[in-house]
Chain A
Amino acid sequence: MSPKTTKIMQIANQPDDGEIDRILYTYGGDKSSLIQILLDAQSTFHWLPQNVLRRISEQLGIALSEVYRTASFYKALSLVPRGRHLIRICMGTACHVRGSPRILGKIEQFLNIRAGETTRDMRFSLERVNCLGCCALGPVIVVDGEAHGNLTPAEVEGILNRYE
């Protein structure tokens, strides 16, 4: 893990057990709900810190290694904190043929991070997704749920500068 990521993990919030238990409670301790519980934890805490994984493991009676395996297998689950704004760039085929690799290159160069990383100031996280299903807008990025379509690399800076 890079020093940058370690630093970010120290400053990010660590949820307490009560918050985790509230999620567990809605599934009634059902082991087969592990993925659903992790998804809910992800959307509540924006990442899955160690103590969340430990608590889930204890409460469900699933080995920590298995919980970790699941959390690291799926793309929607993140083991590192995410920034204030989440940029999702569509890398689906339709966007690819319409030039998304050039948009990705421009964002990576502008923010000085690679896809999957968070900027040092916690302002942006950048995530690649495989299809957002709004192919008519390609190439498209979605920042905090807001879609920006038919992009050219030259427009990227102006759009990102709108998010503080």
Chain B
Amino acid sequence: MTRLTTSSQLNLLRKEILARGEPGRLYITICSGTGCRAYASETVRAAFAQEIEKQCLENKIELKGTGCHGFCEKGPLVVIYPEGILYVQVKVQDVSEIVTQTIHRKIVERLLFVDPLSGEKILHEEDVPFYRHQYRLVLGNNSRIDPKRIEDYIALDGYSALAKVLFEMSPEEVIEQVKYSNLRGRGGGGFPTGRKWEECRHAPGTIKYVMVNADEGDPGAYMDRSLLEGNPHSVLEGLTIGAYAIGAHEGYIYVRQEYPLAVENVNIALDQARKLGLLGQNILGSGFDFDVKVHRGAGAFVSGESSALMTALEGKVGEPRPKYIHTIVSGLWNRPSNLNNVETWANIPLIINRGAAWFASIGTKGSTGTKIFSLVGKVTNTGLVEVPMGTSLKDIIYKIGGGILNGKKFKAVQTGGPSGGCIPERLIDSPVDFDELTRLGSMMGSGGMIVMDEDTCMVDTARYFLDFLAEESCGKCTPCREGIDQMLAILIDITEGKGELGDLGLLEEIAEVTQDASLCALGQTAANPVLSTIQYFRDEYKAHIDEKRCPAGVCKALLSFYIEPEKCRACLRCLKNCPSEAIVGGKNQIHVIDQEKCIRCGICFDVCPDKFRAVLKLSGVPVPPSLPVEGRTIIRKRTAS
């Protein structure tokens, strides 16, 4: 790779790359994101390489590992280009058939996606309902490029926005464009990005910093990881444009060490960009200098908060500090610092290339553009979903997500991570944007969307989030440290059947103080999961407190398991699997659970064969007395021989 010293050299390189790809060439692409890797996609990829070599097709078929496509439910995903044929759940044993059929331009019918509603097989990736209802502006290129090759990104107009900014726009004009686009921060707060940049540009000081927040800590959210893994150059290009607009020459990417592939791909991207002169001294011969360092986070949720993140970049313990002076003015090393989330940065090249007016025309008035959500939990199609702001929850969960897993009943959707809230079924028609979600007592957060069904207990959900936050609170300020602990103690009591009258009032009181008096956003929003579940699911709390009953059958202390004697066929399955030897019985002896020994793990309930369904989960009702020993023998009718 030779260093590019002018913008026209970049254009020339793009033309060269495009000329290399013959029209109509066959590509087999396989998703190499973390989700598909967990389904052994790398083994499948190796098998493809071997098979292509074995059939001597290296000149006819090109194999490519791409970023995350988003449809993680059906991984490993394989797409054949130029036709765009999608094969789902591809295994090593399917590889040879795919290669043979592909070269003959035929289709492997059995690996096509089957629409669960119509039962029809769907040939092209874009026609699968999961993709058809999305608008994949930011995520779309993930499936088209190999994240380890800068050429792939450049071929798709990559770095053209940077060239445009460096040679045709002043920093002020860039900020004007971003302001006009009304882009708001995708990391949680939803602060207008352009205004943030402007404040940082005007903040006193000559040395300034720009940073990427890739400390994606919300459990159940992984869109930032997928972008950074799958299309690192889009983030890097956005960051460099931001640096130019703000007047920064040093940048940082703060990424969790739990994302090893993202760290790897970002480092490769940085290297390649430096070699091409798209990063470093005198970028594209424009005179603008900018370089980036990668910092790995060591596993602390609170370090994703802006002041904490900057403290961590200085090598100290990543705890927040009071923000009387905003980090925009005094952040890293007490200098003006602009921190934006991965997805925010990745939107910037789009705004520059296609115009702020175009961007502002997508979405709603207050929330423009698209948003990536990670749609997870009890939903049929788990994966990453990108839709215009303002799309209804219902469309996301049903049209794209395919509804609730195993035909169960929808109960709530949790958005905004541990700082967010649960939105009940009756509000499912609500449009999703920053302001609407806040109005409903939740928040956008980074875009986690966890679907819950009738088997999810809302008190347990609140307890889960408080448990998470209690562990992650740094303990520096009292309202957060003690407030969360006390709310958690009350919630544990309620889930263990020790809830008392007045607990709900007390929870609301502590919640208010924690919200008002905590130092950083972790504490200020910690009460949201409690308040939103009390607001929308008060009945469920009441059932736990007044009747000692868990309606969803989740809270262990309020459950009992019982084997219905009429249904038990003495198959020994539960007896053999019971970890606490609580099941009494034997061959031809109806099984009985010893309630004293039972640890309520529910394994008997899981393993009891569907044809018997003898194990019952009881809550809020006494366990029926067990059958006397003499009556337990099953007399089986012998079939006439």
Residues of A that sit less than 8 Å from B by CB: 30-36, 38-39, 66, 69-70, 73-77, 91-94, 96-98, 102, 105-106, 109-110, 129-138, 140, 147, 149, 152-154
How far in angstroms is the closest Cβ of chain B from A20?
17
Complex contact B317–A131 (CB within 8 A) = no
- Cβ contact of A140, chosen from B38, B221, B296, B301, cutoff 8 A: B38
Complex contact A97–B34 (CB within 8 A) = no
B603 contacts the other chain (CB 8 A): yes
How far in angstroms is the closest Cβ of chain A from B476?
11
Contacts of B316 in A (CB 8 A): 34, 66, 70
A128–B103 CA distance with the chains assembled, in angstroms: 46
B517 contacts the other chain (CB 8 A): no
B184 contacts the other chain (CB 8 A): no
5 additional A-B residue pairs with CB within 8 Å, beyond A35-B295, A135-B72: A73-B318, A77-B298, A98-B377, A135-B376, A137-B39
State the total of A-B contacts with C-beta under 8 angstroms: 140
A75–B299 CA distance with the chains assembled, in angstroms: 5
Complex contact B602–A147 (CB within 8 A) = no
A136–B77 CA distance with the chains assembled, in angstroms: 13
Contacts of A147 in B (CB 8 A): 38-39
Complex contact A136–B382 (CB within 8 A) = yes
Complex contact B378–A137 (CB within 8 A) = no
How far in angstroms is the closest Cβ of chain A from B169?
34
How far in angstroms is the closest Cβ of chain B from A141?
11
Residue of A nearest to B450 (CB): A93
Q: Interface with A: B191-199, B307-315, B581-589, which one?
A: B307-315
Given contacts A93-B448, A93-B450, A97-B456, contact A133 B35 (CB under 8 A): yes
- Cβ contact of B377, chosen from A77, A94, A132, A140, cutoff 8 A: A94
A77–B103 CA distance with the chains assembled, in angstroms: 50
B217 contacts the other chain (CB 8 A): yes
Which of A132, A133, A137, A152 has the most C-beta atoms of chain B within 10 angstroms of its own C-beta? Answer: A133
Contacts of B314 in A (CB 8 A): 32
Contacts of B468 in A (CB 8 A): 91, 130
Residue of A nearest to B259 (CB): A133
A134–B34 CA distance with the chains assembled, in angstroms: 7
A137–B383 CA distance with the chains assembled, in angstroms: 11
Complex contact A153–B602 (CB within 8 A) = yes
Contacts of A138 in B (CB 8 A): 376
How far in angstroms is the closest Cβ of chain B from A95?
8
Binding site of A, secondary structure by majority: helix, strand, loop or mixed? helix
- Cβ contact of B222, chosen from A32, A77, A133, cutoff 8 A: A133
A143–B634 CA distance with the chains assembled, in angstroms: 43
- Cβ contact of B300, chosen from A73, A94, A97, cutoff 8 A: A73
**Could you mark each residue 473-493 of chain B with 1 if its beta carbon is under 8 Å from any beta carbon of chain A, else 0?**
010000000000000000000
Contacts of A31 in B (CB 8 A): 315
The tally of residues in B whose CB lies under 8 Å from a CB in A reads: 57
Contacts of B318 in A (CB 8 A): 35, 73
B142 contacts the other chain (CB 8 A): no
A33–B602 CA distance with the chains assembled, in angstroms: 47
B220 contacts the other chain (CB 8 A): yes
Which of A75, A110, A129, A140 has the most C-beta atoms of chain B within 10 angstroms of its own C-beta? Answer: A75
A132–B218 CA distance with the chains assembled, in angstroms: 11
Complex contact A97–B38 (CB within 8 A) = no
- Cβ contact of A130, chosen from B38, B217, B601, cutoff 8 A: B217
The 13 sampled A-B contact pairs (Cβ below 8 Å) are: A36-B296, A38-B298, A74-B300, A76-B258, A93-B219, A93-B450, A94-B450, A129-B258, A133-B226, A136-B75, A149-B39, A153-B602, A153-B606
Which of A96, A149, A152 has the most C-beta atoms of chain B within 10 angstroms of its own C-beta? Answer: A96
How far in angstroms is the closest Cβ of chain B from A106?
7
A86–B259 CA distance with the chains assembled, in angstroms: 17
How far in angstroms is the closest Cβ of chain B from A71?
9
**Could you mark each residue 277-290 of chain B with 1 if its beta carbon is under 8 Å from any beta carbon of chain A, else 0?**
00000000000000
B344 contacts the other chain (CB 8 A): no
Given contacts A33-B315, A36-B295, contact A106 B579 (CB under 8 A): yes
Residue of A nearest to B602 (CB): A102
Complex contact B219–A35 (CB within 8 A) = no
Contacts of A98 in B (CB 8 A): 377-378
- Cβ contact of A149, chosen from B38, B225, B417, cutoff 8 A: B38
Complex contact A154–B603 (CB within 8 A) = yes
Complex contact A105–B317 (CB within 8 A) = no
A66–B225 CA distance with the chains assembled, in angstroms: 31
Complex contact B602–A94 (CB within 8 A) = no
Contacts of A74 in B (CB 8 A): 298-300
Contacts of A73 in B (CB 8 A): 300, 317-318, 474
B414 contacts the other chain (CB 8 A): yes
A35–B318 CA distance with the chains assembled, in angstroms: 10
A92–B602 CA distance with the chains assembled, in angstroms: 21
Complex contact B464–A93 (CB within 8 A) = yes
Complex contact B312–A96 (CB within 8 A) = no
